[in-house]
Amino acid sequence: MADFDQENNKLTVKIVYYGPGLSGKTTNIMSLHDLVANGGRGDLMKLETQGDRTLFFDLLPVYFQSANGFKIKLKLFTVPGQVKHNATRKAVLSRADAVAFIADSQNDQSMNNAMSFENLEENATQVGLDFNTLPLVVQFNKRDLPNIIPEESVRKRWEPTGLPVFFATALRGAGVLETFTSLVQLAYRQLTAKYGLAEKYGLSEQVFIQHLVK
C-alpha cells in the first residue's frame, strides 16, 4: 500500500518486478536507471547477489517533485526469481502498489513463466493483495534471442487476462520504459481514485508520467 504522508505532501509508491529466475528483472531496472529521470533517481542498490542472481532484492528509488511541491517517490524492487527464494519473494511483494511480471521469451521457459505467474498470484493473495485489482503488466523479455515464442502466440495466450503485454530486450533498453510507463499509469489511476491526486493536489496523470521520462 502506498505510503501517503498528507502533512508533508509526500507519496511513496512500491513497484515490484516479479518473474522466473533469469528472466531479466534486474536488467530491467538497470536499464531504467539510465532511462528515467528529470526529477531524479537514487543509486541502484543490489542487495546480495551471487554472480548474476539476485539473492534478496534490488532497489532503485525514483523521485520527483511537482510544480506545486508535491513529492513522489517510486521504489522499484526486484524479487529473486529462483524457486528456492520464495519466502524472500513474498516479503518483497508485500504492500506492493503495482507489479511488472517479467517473462522469458525463450520457448523452453514457458513452464517457468507459467509457474512463476501462479506463484505471483498465490503470494499476492497470501500477503493480502487483491490480485484482481492489482495494477499489473506483463513483459516478454529477451526478444533478441533465437527460439522465442512468437508475438502472436503470446498475445493469444494473454489476451483473456486483459493485462497489458509488452515485448522487450531489456539488455538494450528496448521496451523497458514502455513497460514501466504503463505500470505507473495503472498505479496512478488506482492511487488517484483513493487519494484524489488530481482534484486535491493538481497532480494529473500526464504530469505524473511526464516527470518520470527523460
Ligand X SMILES: Nc1nc2c(ncn2[C@@H]2O[C@H](COP(=O)(O)OP(=O)(O)OP(=O)(O)O)[C@@H](O)[C@H]2O)c(=O)[nH]1
Smallest CA-to-CA distance from 158 within 117, 208, 212 is with 117
Q: Copy the grid coordinates of residue 203.
A: 497532480
CB of 187 to ligand X, least distance (A): 21
SS3 196: coil
By CB under 6 A, tell whether 119 contacts ligand X: no
Choose one: 16-24, 61-69, 92-100, 177-185; the region binding ligand X (CB under 6 A): 16-24
Q: If you write DSSP's letter for every residue of 120-183 in order, what string do you get?
A: HHHHHHHTT--TTTS-EEEEEE-TTSSSB--HHHHHHHHGGGT--EEE-BGGGTBTHHHHHHHH
By CB under 6 A, tell whether 24 contacts ligand X: yes
CB of 160 to ligand X, least distance (A): 25
CB of 100 to ligand X, least distance (A): 11
User: Nearest residue to ligand X, using CB?
Assistant: 81
Q: Which is nearer to ligand X, 1 or 44 (CB)?
A: 44
Q: CA-CA distance, 101 to 112, in Å (whole number)?
A: 12
Q: Which is nearer to ligand X, 141 or 192 (CB)?
A: 141
Please identify which residue in 81, 101, 149, 182 interacts with ligand X, judged by CB under 6 A: 81
Question: Measuring CA to CA, how many Å separate 100 from each of 3, 37, 71, 140, 202?
Answer: 19, 19, 23, 11, 27
CB of 185 to Mg ion, least distance (A): 24
Please identify which residue in 2, 18, 27, 211 interacts with ligand X, judged by CB under 6 A: 27
Q: Which residues bind ligand X (CB under 6 A)?
A: 19, 21-27, 52-54, 78, 80-82, 141-142, 144-145, 169-171
